[in-house]
Every structure is written in structure tokens, then in C-alpha cells.
Amino acid sequence: MWRCFPHLVGLGLALQVCAQTGPEPVDMGRGAWGRLAPDDKGRWWMVLTRFPAPRTSHLEILISTNHCRDWTPLARVSEPGRLVDNGHLLLRSDGTLLLAARSLHEGESYQLPVYASTNEGRTWQRWSCIDAIEGPVAQQKRGLWEPFLFSLPDGRVSVIYSSEKHEGYSQVLSQKSSPDGGRTWGPEHRIVEEPKGGRLRPGMGVVTRTHDGRFLLVYEVVGLGRGQVHFKRSEDGERWPPGLGTPVPGHEAAPWVLALRDGRLLLTSCRNTLSISTNGGLTWLPVGGEPWPVRFQYTWPALYEIAPETILASRSEGPVRLYFCRIPSPARRHSDPPE
């Protein structure tokens, strides 16, 4: 387990330093990109990428019923002749599990398929394709990456993803929404892009809903520093401010944001640090200490609140490893800056 020790960090905000003690993290075996989804019965599903041989990959679905300590394989999702990766899960209110991924035949075809399971992850069907690049554009090795599924206030499913298909832009962050739970998708909206185009590459978008009902989007911008992390906020999860957004100090590449049950937000990235916000993501403060051993930098982390006072970090380190940490204790809120 993990234990925490009091520490003071700027602006009078009492945080915690987390240090590992006790059992080793859970080792999920060789793979990458572990992403989780819970239900209200204490079950957790995970999708991760397996690499059985060079130039091959598929997705594995697993389930845990004991707070992510032990996992049972349920299913394998693959597409013959194609690499499948970047899996992301969403549990709909009717119990249907959705799985978005990237599927590619490099230099020929790039797709973002959506699969669905109506029997708790045991079997899967391909329902739809969010977006695709085929033919001459695909031959330029311009692809689609990193779909992230989330729910809108009216119950529709939405997705954020990285797209290289637009002329004049190295990469943009795009969004589509589904009126029928993931079976079909509406028009593409480019929600983060370099003004007037260019070489900057916003990508790796992750969304969470804050306690005031707004939505917070975090993402990297490759070409600024070492993938400087930025954020935007939205009232409804679909309309976002223009431009590249606001940078978050101290974070680089592949960010992940988690809304805790008490209203605070936690942010991590490939910088292997944690930051915390008590005002909906407008400002961030570092959490001192090393939240997990830093064996590798680029580990594509994800954070989840798995039990009272406990978070889990999924990290790709050759194997996928799951680290457990006590949540920093509640502290005096710092003043909200003006909107």
C-alpha cells in the first residue's frame, strides 16, 4: 500500500507527499495503454494492448472484483491484418460496454472503430467507425489516434481524438458525438488546433466533468517544449474556447485528469508528477514527492479513484503496472482566480 506524509506547497495549500511502502504494484504482463472503467457494483474492467509478435497487436479485456488487485481475462478484440491499440472503455447507463480504439494498416488505412459488449465484456461486436483515413491521404502516413469516450449531460456519447487528416495542420484534436449510444457519429468539430495551421500537434486529449457541471479537457501540444500540457474548459462538453488553450506548468506529454469524489482534480503526465486543483482546473499546485517509482518517463499514465481515499495509476513500463496511492488529504481551498 501507499502512505502519505504532510507537506506544504505554495499559496498556503496543505498537500501530501506520497511514498510507496508494502507490496509491489500489480504487474499485468507485457503490454501497453491500460485503461479502466467501473460499474456501481464494485467491478472494474480494463483494456490493454498485447503484442504477441513483432508488428502485431490486439486488445485484451479483463475484469476485477477486488479493487483492481486481481484480474481475470474475458475477451480478445482483434482485426486480421491490422494493428489495434489505444483502447478506451465507457460503460453506458444501460450496462452496454463501449470500446473505442485505433485500427491501422500503416500507409494504407487508419480507422477509429467502436466495439460494444452487451454481456459484461465477454463478447464484442464492431458497431461503428468514428473516423477513417484511406487511400492517398493514408499513404502519406497521416493517421488517427487516441480516442477518448465520455458521456454528455443529455446522455449522448462523445469522443475526443487526434487527427492528422487536415491539410495545413500537422495534427488537431477533434470531437464527434453520437445520438444513438455509439452506433453512428455526427460531424467532426476541430476543438484544438494551431491558429492558421502549422507544425504544432495538439493530441492525447482526456476529458473529465467537474463538480460544477463543466467539462475540463487536458492535452499535450507537441512542438511546444517537450509536449507541454494545456487545458480548456467547457460549459457543455461540446463548445470549447478557440486556440491552443492554457498551459499547465510542470507537465509534459500524455496528460490525464481525474475528478475526485470530493470535487478536487488530480493531474498527471509523462513528467511523472501530480498536481491538484481545488477550483475546477483554473489553477494547479504540485503535490510533493514521488507518487510512484520512475523507471521510464513515457509511460502514458491514467488515474482512477478505485476506493475511498485510494487512487490507482496505470502505467506502461514494458509490462502494464498498476500503482496504488492514498489520495492527498482535503485542504484549505485557495482563492479562485477570475474567469
pLDDT tens digit sequence for 97-155: 999 999 999 889 999 999 999 999 999 999 999 999 998 888 888 899 999 999 999 99
Q: Count the neighbouring beta carbons within 10 Å of the beta carbon of residue 81.
A: 9
Provide the domain limits for residue 260: 1-26+201-330
Residues 319 and 244 in one domain: yes
How many domains does the chain fold into? 2
The Cα–Cα gap between 317 and 93 comes to: 33
* H-helix segments, 134-255: 136-139
Contact (Cβ atoms closer than 8 angstroms) between residue 86 and residue 102:
yes
Q: Which tens digit of pLDDT belongs to each residue from 10-30?
A: 223 333 434 443 347 899 999
The whole-number pLDDT of residue 129 equals: 98
Q: Is the pLDDT of residue 159 over 90?
A: yes
Residues 143 and 281 in one domain: no
Grid coordinates given for 292: 510512484
Contact (Cβ atoms closer than 8 angstroms) between residue 191 and residue 173:
yes
Closest CA to 317 of 299, 331, 290, 304: 299
Residue 10 lies in a domain: yes
Average of per-residue pLDDT across 286-309: 85
Q: Is the pLDDT of residue 79 over 90?
A: yes
pLDDT tier at 308, thresholds 50, 70, 90: confident
Residue 339 lies in a domain: no
Annotate 252-300 with DSSP letters as a single string: ESS-EEEE-TTS-EEEE-TT--EEEESSTTSS-EEEPS-SS--S-S---
H or E element that contains 196: none
Residues 145 and 245 in one domain: no
- The number of CA neighbours under 13 Å toward the Cβ of 312 is 22
Average of per-residue pLDDT across 50-73: 95
Residues 183 and 232 in one domain: no
Tell me the average pLDDT of the chain: 89
Q: Is the pLDDT of residue 5 over 80?
A: no
Residues 258 and 186 in one domain: no
Average of per-residue pLDDT across 225-250: 96
The Cα–Cα gap between 301 and 331 comes to: 25
Residues 70 and 205 in one domain: no
Q: Is the pLDDT of residue 273 over 50?
A: yes
Q: Is the pLDDT of residue 63 over 80?
A: yes
Residues 156 and 230 in one domain: no
Residues 180 and 235 in one domain: no
Residues 61 and 184 in one domain: yes
Q: Which residue has the higher pLDDT, 20 or 64?
A: 64
pTM of the predicted model, to two decimals? Answer: 0.90
Residue 149 lies in a domain: yes
The whole-number pLDDT of residue 18 equals: 46
Q: What is the CATH number of the domain that holds 298?
A: 2.120.10.10
Residues 99 and 20 in one domain: no
Average of per-residue pLDDT across 227-250: 97
Q: How large a percentage of the chain has pLDDT more than 90?
A: 79
The whole-number pLDDT of residue 329 equals: 61
pLDDT tier at 338, thresholds 50, 70, 90: very low
Q: Count the neighbouring beta carbons within 10 Å of the beta carbon of residue 339.
A: 6
Q: Is the pLDDT of residue 339 over 70?
A: no
Residue 335 lies in a domain: no
Residues 205 and 148 in one domain: no
CA distances (Å), origin 260, targets 3, 14, 57, 306, 310:
18, 17, 33, 10, 10
Q: Is the pLDDT of residue 2 over 60?
A: no
Residues 22 and 35 in one domain: no
Edge-to-edge order in the sheet of strand 97-105:
83-91, 97-105, 109-117, 125-134
Q: Is the pLDDT of residue 331 over 70?
A: no
The Cα–Cα gap between 258 and 208 comes to: 6
Residue 136 phi, psi dihedral angles, 5° rounding: -60, -40
Q: Lowest-pLDDT range, 18-27, 138-147, 171-180, 209-218? A: 18-27
Average of per-residue pLDDT across 194-205: 97
The whole-number pLDDT of residue 16 equals: 40
**What is the 3 state secondary structure string of 96-146?**
CEEEEEEEEECCCEEEEEEEEECCCCCCCEEEEEEEEEECHHHHCCCCEEE
Residue 245 lies in a domain: yes
Residue 228 lies in a domain: yes
Closest CA to 148 of 216, 183, 99: 99
Q: How large a percentage of the chain has pLDDT more than 70?
A: 90
